[in-house]
Amino acid sequence: MAKLIIKRTSEWNNRMRDMGVYLDEQKIGTIRNNEIKKFEIEPGEHQLSAKIDWCRSKTISFNSIENKTQKYELTGFRHGKWIVPITFLIILINFGLRLFWNFEEIYFLIFIVPLFAYIFYYLTFGSNKYLRFKKR
């Protein structure tokens, strides 16, 4: 038997949700935040993908060989680990500035609209690229 090892990175924005792991379009398990899962698979050509809610990863193909291990890292969308916390930080700073000073809302919009647009893209049009596999 060949082995497939998947390590899920720790991310703030996907922390509370499990991701489904699919091999050849069949669900073989779920993986939690910062968890490493090992799967025994048949040797041969395989298709690997992951899904969380309505978002998914691109399907990747790999060839497994008897007694060999394939290792992949599963992460969220590019820069998602930083974009979501930065967005919430900017919102908190905005409320603080508006509470204590006469802060113009236009400055807030200049920073927050691009961040929300980036997140919105991955939750809608880019939902098939929300998750990513990286070979380790």
For residue 98, pLDDT beyond 80: no
Kindly report, residue by residue over 44-85, the tens digit of the pLDDT.
Answer: 999 999 999 999 999 999 999 999 999 999 999 888 888 888
Task: Tell me the per-residue pLDDT of 2-24, one tens digit each, with 9 for 90 and over.
Answer: 999 999 999 888 889 999 999 99
Specify the pTM.
0.83
Decide if 135 contacts 72 (C-beta within 8 A). yes
The amino acid sitting at 99 is L
What does the DSSP 8-state code read for residue 10? P
Q: What is the tens place of the pLDDT at every residue in 56-67?
A: 999 999 999 999
Asked whether the predicted pLDDT for residue 133 surpasses 80, the reply is yes
pLDDT band at 112 (very low <50, low <70, confident <90, very high): confident
String of DSSP letters for 71-135: EEEEE-STTHHHHHHHHHHHHHHHHHHHHHS---HHHHHHHHHHHHHHHHHHHTTTGGGSBEEEE
Query: Which pLDDT score, from 0 to 100, does residue 94 have?
Result: 79
- Residue 95: its pLDDT value, please? 79
Q: What is the mean pLDDT of the chain?
A: 90
Q: Is the pLDDT of residue 30 over 90?
A: yes
Q: Which two tokens stand for residue 88?
A: 């919430």
